[in-house]
Amino acid sequence: MQAMSLFIASLNSGSNGNCYYIGSSHDAVLIDVGISCRETEKRMKALGLNIKNVRAIFVSHEHGDHIKGVSTLANKYSLPVYITGKTALQGPRLIRHLSRSFIANETVQTGDLTIIPFRKQHDAADPHSFVIEGKGIRIGVFTDIGEVCSEVIRYFGTCHAAFLEANYDEKMLEQGRYPIHLKNRIRGGHGHLSNRQALELFLQHRSPQLSHLLLSHLSKENNSPERAMELFAPHANGTEILVASRYSPSAVYEIRVQGDPVSSGLLVPSKPRQLGLFG
């Protein structure tokens, strides 16, 4: 049987910058570019990823750790930037001529990849997460999520691999130096997922085909890779669990499915839309 593959990598993951690569042999997308253009280029080159394969950038929300490098990278390579109107009003700048809108739960086709955006709970203007499908393989990017809502559950359960936020250890946050208003913002339903919340999602809703889970957006102050891995490792049950670093890119992981693509198709029945530029 023919084996089909997508390739994924975290270029950076954390409050200092987020950027995730998902692609086939020929087409790829970046979810957020929260590190500089130069650093994005440098890290892709080090991983052997060709930036000329990148067909588009998808922006989850307007916070600086997700948009820092979007304008420069998009302008340098003339990349379309998929971003909602509300998010675009808040930034990034200098990409109006490249901006294309999207609507939650309506598919976007770019190259041989299909991207499904969906709404999430986060303290931003119009925050979205994404599932990327190609060759019958689904990759989810689930970060900056205040709570595990029905949409997160629905899409996470279809993934062959996922970047899943495990932002904070509840005890470390409670006992840490952050002021109470910031602690409440982080854990208040529109902030971030804790290690425990992420584990519950993984245990209760993962697909039997979930081969890789990259724990993402870990807090420097209120978490550690060791704590997150200590919690998840006993429950891996065949899934390779890794931590996406805030200091360096991950390896490139090949996500493979043997035989025919998933027969059930996309969860979203709508046809890909022809998206126009902002006027």
pLDDT of 211-233, one tens digit each?
999 999 999 999 999 999 999 99
What are the structure tokens assigned to 146, written together? 């205040």
Instruction: Provide the pLDDT for residue 261.
Output: 44
> Does a structural domain hold residue 270?
no
Q: Provide the domain limits for residue 127.
A: 3-251
Instruction: Provide the pLDDT for residue 91.
Output: 79
Instruction: Name every residue whose Cβ is closer than 8 Å to that of residue 96 and which is 6 or more positions away in sequence.
Output: 88, 278
Instruction: Name every residue whose Cβ is closer than 8 Å to that of residue 83 and which is 6 or more positions away in sequence.
Output: 58, 59, 95, 99, 100, 101, 102
Confidence of residue 252 (pLDDT cuts 50, 70, 90): very high
> Does a structural domain hold residue 265?
no
Confidence of residue 181 (pLDDT cuts 50, 70, 90): very high
Q: What does the pLDDT average to over 125-147?
A: 96
User: How many other C-beta atoms can be found within 10 angstroms of the C-beta atom of residue 262?
Assistant: 17
CB 100 within 8 A of CB 81: yes
> Does a structural domain hold residue 18?
yes
Burial (CB count within 10 angstroms: exposed 0-12, middle 13-18, buried 19+), residue 8: buried
> Does a structural domain hold residue 241?
yes
| Cis check: omega of the bond before 92, within 30 degrees of 0 | yes
Domains of the chain: total: 1
* Helix then strand then coil, % of the chain, to nearest 5: 30, 25, 45
User: How many other C-beta atoms can be found within 10 angstroms of the C-beta atom of residue 238?
Assistant: 8
What are the structure tokens assigned to 251, written together? 């390896």
Q: How many CA atoms lie within 13 A of 33 on its CB side?
A: 29
> pLDDT digit string (tens) for 48-94?
999 999 999 999 999 999 999 999 999 999 999 999 999 999 877 77
Confidence of residue 99 (pLDDT cuts 50, 70, 90): very high
> Does a structural domain hold residue 204?
yes
CB 173 within 8 A of CB 187: yes
What phi, psi does 217 have (nearest 5°)? 55, 40
Q: In this prediction, what percent of the chain has a pLDDT beyond 70? A: 91
**Coil vs helix vs strand at 173:** helix
Q: What is the pTM of this model?
A: 0.92
> Does a structural domain hold residue 261?
no
Amino acid at site 206: R
The CATH number for 200's domain is: 3.60.15.10
154, pLDDT greater than 60: yes
> pLDDT digit string (tens) for 10-33?
999 999 999 999 999 999 999 999
- Rounded Cα distance, 16 and 37, in Å: 14
- Rounded Cα distance, 138 and 207, in Å: 11
Mean pLDDT of the chain: 91
Instruction: Provide the pLDDT for residue 273.
Output: 35
> Does a structural domain hold residue 128?
yes
- Rounded Cα distance, 186 and 169, in Å: 11
Taking the CA atoms of 103, 209, 32 and 134 in sequence, report the sign of the dihedral they define: negative
Instruction: Provide the pLDDT for residue 3.
Output: 62
Instruction: Provide the pLDDT for residue 259.
Output: 52
Q: Which helix (H) or strand (E) holds 170?
A: helix 170-175
Q: What does the pLDDT average to over 154-163?
A: 98
CB 112 within 8 A of CB 135: yes
> Does a structural domain hold residue 279?
no
